[in-house]
Structure 1
Amino acid sequence: MAEQAGAGIIRSDDPALARDLERIARQERELILPGLTEEDAWIMGCWLRQTANERRHPIAIDIRRGGHTLFSASLDGATPDNLGWIARKARVAARFHRSSYAVGLQLLQEGKTIAERFGLPEAEYAPFGGAFPLRVRGVGVVGTLCVSGLPQREDHRLVVEALATFIDVPLDTIQIPS
């Protein structure tokens, strides 16, 4: 069993898989917001949009709090299909309170699909990189930050970069390798 991960392939028996899962768990523990206002979502979303434009990334961006869309944008080259991917990946992050990439890597490690492991329809849940649960200190998960349009590992790396930048966490201490 293998999955596309950035420029390489991760296999279910690859030691890098366990290292990535450990690093992502650390990201999920450390990327905690002090709050999540509409202004916060605007700042994160605008940073993502500007950064993606500078890098010429054809992505769609979505920030939600409790099912309410606070920021949404599609850049040049993004397609309507990216919005479908966002909805499916965001459902994974919202349901499991884990990044969609972590859920996908865990399933890969177990050799199962989301349908086999949890009975969830793949047409509605996509355990692929790009959605990250938004945790507020002292509150818990309140929403999701999601991008779609790059290879899944790069989608994940981009949302982590956005969160780390927003809360001033040194990226080199938490980012997974490209």
Structure 2
Amino acid sequence: MTESQRLTEFRRQEEELVFESFDHHAAWRLGSLIAGRAITEGFGVAIDIRRHNVVLFRCILPGATADQEEWIRRKSNSVLRFEHSTALLAEQFSDRNPLGGGWLDPADYTLAGGSFPLRVRGAGVIGAVTVSGLASDKDHQLVVGGIRNYLKTVAPGTST
């Protein structure tokens, strides 16, 4: 897939994966779906769902390391700052890096894939769902697959 095709795909995902509503119960169900898939696949990941600084769901699976805590913090900061997935941001900024140089501090932000905006119709981005522990693309796919599964099975009719 070319850079342009990847960017188009990431934008399409953000347009498609929109919630009608999202509360603490939705966070639990979404996080549990993602964790269930990770357990089935044997992925040692950490999963985090937050509304800005309030953690609504957290799961650390066997094989995840202490580093995942920092990756989650930095990935979710990037999503909440730009209101786009870290995969889209990484692709969009592939020719210029906004980290360092006085713009964004790399100690607080990263463009590694695996964090996705929680977008609610009529409200915009209200939080982020983040996975850390795999390669960036695999982290992203696990999050997107979980959201897609949630919208299809738990909250049918909520995506566009």
* TM-score of the superposed pair, with normalisation by structure 2: 0.91
The corresponding residue for 2:90 is: 104
Change (3 A) 1:41 1:118: farther
Displacement of 1:17 after TM fit?
A: 1.1
Percent identity over paired residues:
36
Q: Deviations over 1:22-67 (max 9, x none)?
A: 0100111110011111110000111111110110001000000132
SS in structure 2 at match of 1:112: coil
Q: Is the 8 A contact 1:28 1:98 kept in 2?
A: yes
Q: Does 1:88 align with 2:87?
A: no
The corresponding residue for 2:13 is: 27
Q: Does 1:52 align with 2:34?
A: no
- For structure 2, list consecutive stretches of 5 or more residues without a partner in the other structure: 154-160
One-letter amino acid of the counterpart of residue 25, structure 2: E
- Which range moves more in the overlay, 116-125 or 67-76? 116-125
Report how many aligned residue pairs link the two structures.
Answer: 153
The corresponding residue for 2:122 is: 138
Name the CA distance, whole Å, in 2 between partners of 1:78 and 1:37: 26
Name the CA distance, whole Å, in 1 between partners of 2:72 and 2:91: 18
Q: Deviations over 1:77-125 (max 9, x none)?
A: 00110010000000111100000111111111xx221226871011110
Q: Is the 8 A contact 2:99 2:110 kept in 1?
A: no
The corresponding residue for 1:11 is: none
The corresponding residue for 2:137 is: 153
- For structure 1, list consecutive stretches of 5 or more residues without a partner in the other structure: 1-14, 170-178
Displacement of 1:159 after TM fit?
A: 0.5
Residue in structure 1 matching 2:113, options 111, 115, 129: 129
Alpha-carbon RMSD across the aligned residues, in angstroms, is: 1.5
Q: Is the 8 A contact 1:61 1:72 kept in 2?
A: yes
One-letter amino acid of the counterpart of residue 17, structure 1: E
Q: Is the 8 A contact 2:100 2:106 kept in 1?
A: no
One-letter amino acid of the counterpart of residue 43, structure 2: H
Change (3 A) 1:158 1:104: same
Change (3 A) 1:159 1:124: same
Name the CA distance, whole Å, in 1 between partners of 2:132 and 2:99: 22
